[in-house]
Amino acid sequence: MKGDYQDLVDEISALLGAPATLENRDFRLIAFGAHDSDDDLAMDPVRTRSILTRQSTAAVRSWFEAYGIARATGPVRIPAAPEAGVFRGRICLPVRYRGIVQGYVWLLDQDPGPGAEALDAAMEVAQRIGVLLAEEAKAGADLSREFLAALTAGRGWQQDMAVAALRLALGPGAEGLHAAVCVAPWTGEAPGSVPGASAVCVVPGDPGGAGGSAVLAVLLRLRSTDALAPALSAVGRLLPRPVAGAGGAGTSGAVRGSGTPGAPDAGPGGPYGITAGLSDPVRALTQLPAAWAQAAAAARAAAAQPRLGPVAQWSAIGPYRMLSALAADPVDDPATRALLGPAHRELARTAEVFLDCAGQAGRAAAALGIHRQTLYYRLGRVEQLTGLDLDEGEDRLLLHMALKSAHLHG
């Protein structure tokens, strides 16, 4: 599919005699034509950022949308605005399918610019791009049933059959690298389209058991194992954004134009307490259930430990990889029960920081902002409450695991 977009963008570039770029309706770069000009003004900051980061900022989006490009059915000329980083005027070709905008083709305007006949020919190519974008979005939406079945089927032959059905439905798209994404919690419908996704669905009930909320599941296509960084960025755009103030173009929707998911009060993790997890890449759909478990665990870890979120990758969540697999329910250990109660939160935090610092009192006291003697006093209280000896490795291990596990079920 990527090659199809590139060929069509190159065709528009040839028709209009200028390098073109294609962005989806969320202003994420899909393809761009070769740029061989020596004119520094041809690569203004807005175009450079779009190509290098594969996306435009909310402010840039707001600027261009003010010219009516989302409603236009033909080419739109946009004048230069050096104060906004737009040193050259633009020609925008809206990419539509059945009246719905799917994306935009951008060209730098010239003097004299392309004639009406050339623009008409370019718009015909833009319509073909619109068909491809709409088909891609529809394919992801139509696969929600098969994707959900593959994620929720029991082990054994039921799971094998569900994964086989998903593979058949994906067709050629089943080949290559994929990664699973879990966004939690999620209310409402799945977004109409997620760039780079093979399938999207809403899974009723949190697979990690944290609160029973529904979650959003996404099957992302990856070009290579090096594509995880862009994938993390794409996952971040699924999280709701607070509405921007003056000069911005933020939205509270998880995906622009998809509607707003439920927005609990702000808390750990991302905006509104929503977090996301990304699995390691998998080369075969038979590995999808394991990848989904990784993504769900990473989302839970991001919610439990703010420094990991709001978007966490499975390979980066450290001890939570093991803790998430040990027990879906909170562990009620008699030794740590009293310490984990609401009356001893400061003592529990002291013990966790001390253990995180590998038992080094100086580091722990500095991290907590307390005197070393105060640290020793608190650790003594921890030992009294738990009956554990913090000079013993196994006792330290038990306490550390209990403290970390409590975050997952907090």
- Model pLDDT for residues 26-45, shown as the tens digit of each residue: 788 888 776 555 554 455 55
- Predicted confidence at residue 243, as pLDDT, reads 35
Mean pLDDT of 278-304: 91
- Predicted confidence at residue 35, as pLDDT, reads 53
Domain boundary at 137, 158, 182, which?
Answer: 137
Rounded to an integer, what distance in angstroms lies between the CA atom of residue 205 and that of residue 303? 16
The verdict on 104 and 228 lying in the same domain is no
Mean pLDDT of 155-173: 85
The verdict on 41 and 150 lying in the same domain is no
Q: Would you place residue 328 in the very low, low, confident or very high pLDDT band (cuts 50, 70, 90)?
A: low
The verdict on 211 and 314 lying in the same domain is yes
Residue 337 lies in a domain: no
The verdict on 218 and 113 lying in the same domain is no
The verdict on 303 and 233 lying in the same domain is yes
Q: Would you place residue 266 in the very low, low, confident or very high pLDDT band (cuts 50, 70, 90)?
A: very low
- Predicted confidence at residue 247, as pLDDT, reads 32
The verdict on 149 and 247 lying in the same domain is yes
Alpha helix positions (H), 329-371: 345-356, 361-368
- Letter string b/e over residues 5-18, b meaning 16 or more CB atoms within 10 A of that residue's CB: beebbbbbbebbeb
The verdict on 385 and 310 lying in the same domain is no
**Residue 77, domain CATH:** 3.30.450.40
- Give pLDDT tens digits for 187-201: 878 876 677 788 899
Cα three-residue angle 180-182-134, rounded to 5 degrees = 70
- Predicted confidence at residue 408, as pLDDT, reads 72
Of the candidates 75, 63, 80, 3, the one whose C-alpha atom is nearest the C-alpha of residue 27 is: 63
Domain boundary at 102, 137, 172, which?
Answer: 137
Q: How many domains does the chain have?
A: 3
Q: Is residue 249 scored above 50 in pLDDT? A: no
C-alpha 65: how far from its chain's center?
24
The verdict on 166 and 186 lying in the same domain is yes
Mean pLDDT of 166-176: 82
User: Which of 14-28, 89-103, 267-281 has the least mean pLDDT?
Assistant: 267-281
Q: Would you place residue 138 in the very low, low, confident or very high pLDDT band (cuts 50, 70, 90)?
A: low
The verdict on 284 and 209 lying in the same domain is yes
Q: What are phi and psi of 60, to 5 degrees?
A: -65, -45
- Predicted confidence at residue 252, as pLDDT, reads 29
- Residue of 105 and 340 predicted with greater confidence: 105
The verdict on 194 and 94 lying in the same domain is no
Rounded to an integer, what distance in angstroms lies between the CA atom of residue 331 and that of residue 392? 21
Mean pLDDT of 299-327: 84
Residue 201 lies in a domain: yes
The verdict on 28 and 132 lying in the same domain is yes
**Two structure tokens written together for 105:** 């083709």
- Predicted confidence at residue 206, as pLDDT, reads 52
- Predicted confidence at residue 321, as pLDDT, reads 85
Rounded to an integer, what distance in angstroms lies between the CA atom of residue 93 and that of residue 105? 5
- Give pLDDT tens digits for 4-20: 888 999 999 999 988 89
- Give pLDDT tens digits for 38-86: 554 455 555 555 554 445 667 777 888 889 998 899 999 988 877 766 7
Residue 157 lies in a domain: yes
**Residue 387, domain CATH:** 1.10.10.2840
Q: What are phi and psi of 284, to 5 degrees?
A: -140, 140
Residue 45 lies in a domain: yes
Q: Which one of 18-32, 141-155, 278-292 scores highest in mean pLDDT?
A: 278-292
- Predicted confidence at residue 251, as pLDDT, reads 29
Rounded to an integer, what distance in angstroms lies between the CA atom of residue 105 and that of residue 75? 10
Percent of the chain with pLDDT over 70: 80
Rounded to an integer, what distance in angstroms lies between the CA atom of residue 32 and that of residue 193? 21
Residue 15 lies in a domain: yes
Residue 177 lies in a domain: yes
Residue 330 lies in a domain: no
Cα three-residue angle 316-321-326, rounded to 5 degrees = 170
The verdict on 208 and 227 lying in the same domain is yes
Domain boundary at 137, 165, 199, which?
Answer: 137
User: Which of 206-215, 250-259, 378-387 has the least mean pLDDT?
Assistant: 250-259
**Two structure tokens written together for 63:** 């600027």
Range of the domain at 396: 342-408
Cα-Cα-Cα-Cα dihedral sign, residues 221, 227, 231, 232: positive
**Two structure tokens written together for 84:** 């906004």
Percent of the chain with pLDDT over 90: 32
Residue 336 lies in a domain: no
- Predicted confidence at residue 250, as pLDDT, reads 31
Please, which residues have CB within 8 angstroms of residue 140's CB and are 6 or more apart in sequence?
193, 194, 197, 198, 199, 200
- Predicted confidence at residue 410, as pLDDT, reads 59
Q: Is residue 368 scored above 90 in pLDDT? A: yes
- Residue of 9 and 100 predicted with greater confidence: 9
